[in-house]
Structure 1
Amino acid sequence: MEEKPNYVKRTQCDYSMSFKLGVVREIESGEVSTVMVCRKYGIQSRSTVVNWLRKFGNFDWENQTPSNMPKSPEQKVMELEAKVKLLEKQKTLLEKQSYIADKKAIIFDMMIELAEQEYHIDIRKNSPPELSNLSGNNKKKP
């Protein structure tokens, strides 16, 4: 009868920062793959190495392109076209918001005029220019 070796459950390992950076450097230089690094150093999970690459590597995970690799003219054009489309959408949104704000200001102004006529009261502050200059000068004096 064959005896099976006792299975030892692996525990979480704490790796030093220099070790992590060395592994990331090896992978980014193209010497080895993530799977090969796991086998070589006995790292339990490939996702551990991928996390190190995300934290310490030069790869731009947000745009999925290496940040140190030069982009082709076609890639640059595509990125600029995407930015132009985004800016055009933002512009139209801001124009709509500006139009709505202008209409609201006109409506509020009309409401104030109606209220002043209906109730015979001054809602707006109507001070002569001379008084407003004097009040501004009083505030500026120490």
Structure 2
Amino acid sequence: MKEISNYVKRTQRDYTLSFKLNVVREVESGELTSTQAQRKYGIQGDSTIRNWLKKYGNFDWENQIPSSMAKSPEQRILELEAKIKLLEKQKAQLERQNYIADSKAIIFDMMIDIAEQEYKIDVRKNFKPAQSIVSDKKNKKA
């Protein structure tokens, strides 16, 4: 005989925002661990509550410090120094990319010059800008 399962797969849309916020509040306040909340409310995904904590909670997941806790001046200085180093690296990388792009543009320009000289053709077309239809009509009427 086949057993009937009561298992119903849920998605994030099955939980209301107020429910999610309530679970986050209970976990952050220490009333429940995320595993206990998962069992208590029948939340199926192992990472569901962790995702809610990241999205709706007070914890600074990037720096692993609760955002409600004040940072010491030393911590703030260290964070800013790390940001400066990161920005300096990014700036150097962008400067290298800019140098390479400029070098390529110069090389392509030289290649076009050589092709024009060798094959005696105009690769760069220097057409005069065409007059607009409106200005042509004005010239004909005058």
The bucket for the TM-score relative to the shorter chain is 0.5 to 0.7
Contact 1:34/1:49 (8 A) holds in 2: no
- Report SS of the residue matched to 2:132: helix
Root mean square deviation, CA, Å:
3.6
1:138 aligns with 2:120: no
Q: Which residue in the other structure is 1:34 paired with?
A: 33
The percent identity for this pair of structures is 59
- The 1:55–1:90 alpha-carbon spacing in structure 2 relative to 1, beyond 3 Å, is closer
Query: What TM-score do you get using the length of structure 1 for normalisation?
Result: 0.62
Whole-angstrom CA distance in 2 between matches of 1:122 and 1:89: 43
Contact 1:24/1:53 (8 A) holds in 2: yes
Q: Which residue in the other structure is 1:94 paired with?
A: 94
Q: Which residue in the other structure is 1:117 paired with?
A: 117
- The 1:118–1:62 alpha-carbon spacing in structure 2 relative to 1, beyond 3 Å, is same
Q: Which residue in the other structure is 1:67 paired with?
A: 67
Whole-angstrom CA distance in 1 between matches of 2:49 and 2:119: 75
Structure 1 position 20, deviation (Å): 5.1
The structure with the larger Rg is 1
Query: What TM-score do you get using the length of structure 2 for normalisation?
Result: 0.62
- The 1:99–1:52 alpha-carbon spacing in structure 2 relative to 1, beyond 3 Å, is closer
* Structure 1 alignment gaps of length 5 or more: 1-10
- The 1:108–1:23 alpha-carbon spacing in structure 2 relative to 1, beyond 3 Å, is closer
In the alignment of these two chains, the number of paired residues is: 123
* Structure 2 alignment gaps of length 5 or more: 1-6, 136-142
- Report SS of the residue matched to 1:81: helix
